[in-house]
Amino acid sequence: MIDLRFYWSLLLRRLPIMLALLIICTVFGLVSAVRAPSTYFTAARLLVEGAQIPEGSGDAMAAGEMLQIIEQRLMTRANMIDVANKLDVFSSDSSLSVDQKVAEMMTSTTVRRFDGRDQATLMTVGFTSTNPRMTAAVVNEFTTLILSANTRTRVGLAEDRLSFYQQEVDRLGQDLDAQTARILDFKRENADSLPENLRYRQDRQSLLQERVSRLESDLAALQSQRADMVRIFEQTGSIGVSNAPQSMEQQQLAALQAELNSVLGVYAEDSARVKALRNRIALAERNVGVATGSTTEQSGNSLLDLNLAQIDSRVSAINTELAQSNQELDRLAESINATAAIAITLGAMERDQANIQTRYDAAVSSLGQARTAERVEASSRGERITVIEAASVPSLPSGPNRKKIALMGVALGMGLAGGFFVLMELLNSAIRRPAEMRSRFQITPLAVIPYIESRQERRRRQSVGMAATLAVLIIIPLGLWVLHVNYMPLDILTQKIVGRLGLG
């Protein structure tokens, strides 16, 4: 159970110091509340309007992202210093350093963004100052900076996008030309093995194979015919009718020999007609010999030599044609075998060309969109930020909340007084009650004799307490007044103390 009488006696004993703490904090709070300068707040509202002409660009920046970028650029140290120096915001306090000015500007500036799905994107820019005209001037300067930054940012992004896609189109065009040139050079170097004329070469190969087969058959027939002709002549001394085609002279010679054979059966060798036929045969043989370019010394029979010469001439022509056909067949076989590898390499090169062409077409399309976007932004027909409510000079102060400051001083004094009371209890280790003896030494006293004050001691104690209380109620407020008047105003002293403690 709490001993209220004991704690009441402690409260009365420590009342002067607790009153001193309460009075000091209350006085500081009241003075700060009364002397705190009035502050004025004003704001401008900005709206992000949609593009009047759709750009059709897939990489356009979102409105919320644009506002966020502009906000970060607005709140930079350089902008804060430029605005403060341009408008002479801190003309009344020239002792502030640059860092303090930047901190004051950032603390006094308020930027809020409102956006969401199916909602308009808004931004409010506000500023707090002790001078209402200065407040409106700073907000209007911030608004000007935001509008110019939005224009520069969007136009700069459009120009950068246009420059990038222009470079991409040029680069991909050069790559496409180089790849096309490589394909043409490759086709020129492998013109005999390209896959597009493979069917022609295969048909040509089949035709040549059939020709070779026919020529070999003709060659074998001619060789067999020559061998038969030689064999018949060796056996009979004459040859049969040759199946080989005969010239005009040969046909005349054969007709004269046939006529001579038929005349010999009727006339004698020394007849005039037989002699005339033999002369005509000799003349025909000479004509045939001149036409064929051969002589009759080998066999003694001009007709055999003539037929053999014709057969040999045809054999030689067939052998030449066979060699040419086989040589062409070898070339065709080699080119057909190489076509597969050529087709793979050429297909890879054409795929690379198709990929480059696809990227080139996409870059050209994006370049067209970038040009449109750049023209739209340059003519201010794209997405833009407009001011729907400019900052006005405030007529009524927005702060400070003087009641709140005064109550904070009182609450701080009460908190310090209560803290002092609790701290003294924690630091005091003396035994003052029987309960403390039982809890500390685990013993129960039989009887407790309290200290009995005399009447004179009681009067003296009460007098000292009343004097201390009066001193606190009179001297401390008087001392604070002297401090406020002669040394430093209490509100300024409060600001310095709070600043040193890092609380504001």
329/377: higher pLDDT: 329
Model confidence at 428, pLDDT cuts 50, 70, 90, reads confident
Model confidence at 249, pLDDT cuts 50, 70, 90, reads low
Give the Cβ contact number of residue 53 at 10 Å: 13
Model confidence at 479, pLDDT cuts 50, 70, 90, reads confident
- State pLDDT tens for residues 333-392: 888 888 888 889 989 999 999 999 999 999 999 898 888 888 877 766 667 788 888 888
- State pLDDT tens for residues 197-210: 888 888 888 988 88
Q: List the domain boundaries for the chain.
A: 4-36+400-501, 40-167+376-389, 197-356
In this predicted structure, the answer to whether residue 44 has a pLDDT above a threshold of 90 is: yes
In this predicted structure, the answer to whether residue 71 has a pLDDT above a threshold of 80 is: yes
In this predicted structure, the answer to whether residue 58 has a pLDDT above a threshold of 60 is: no
Residues in contact with 427: Cβ distance below 8 Å, sequence separation at least 6, in sequence order: none
Q: Which CATH architecture has domain 197-356?
A: Orthogonal Bundle (1.10)
Q: Which of 121-125, 224-228, 285-289, 298-302 has the highest mean pLDDT?
A: 121-125
Indicate the range of 16-30, 160-174, 342-356 predicted with least confidence.
16-30
Question: Residue 238 is which amino acid?
Answer: S
Question: Residue 89 is which amino acid?
Answer: V
164/253: higher pLDDT: 164
The answer to whether the CB of 47 falls within 8 A of the CB of 386 is: yes
Indicate the range of 57-61, 116-120, 448-452, 486-490 predicted with least confidence.
57-61
Structure tokens at 336: 């057909």
Structure tokens at 252: 């005349």
Indicate the range of 132-146, 192-206, 252-266, 312-326 predicted with least confidence.
252-266
Q: How far apart are CA 216 and CA 208, in angstroms?
A: 12
- State pLDDT tens for residues 82-113: 999 999 888 877 778 888 889 989 999 999 98
Q: Please state the rounded mean pLDDT for residues 156-161.
A: 86
Three-state SS for 78? helix
Q: Give the pLDDT of residue 356.
A: 94
Q: Give the pLDDT of residue 288.
A: 66
Question: What's the CATH superfamily of 40-167+376-389?
Answer: EIF_2_alpha (3.30.70.1130)
Q: Give the pLDDT of residue 296.
A: 39
The answer to whether the CB of 38 falls within 8 A of the CB of 399 is: yes
Q: Give the pLDDT of residue 275.
A: 76
The answer to whether the CB of 59 falls within 8 A of the CB of 369 is: no
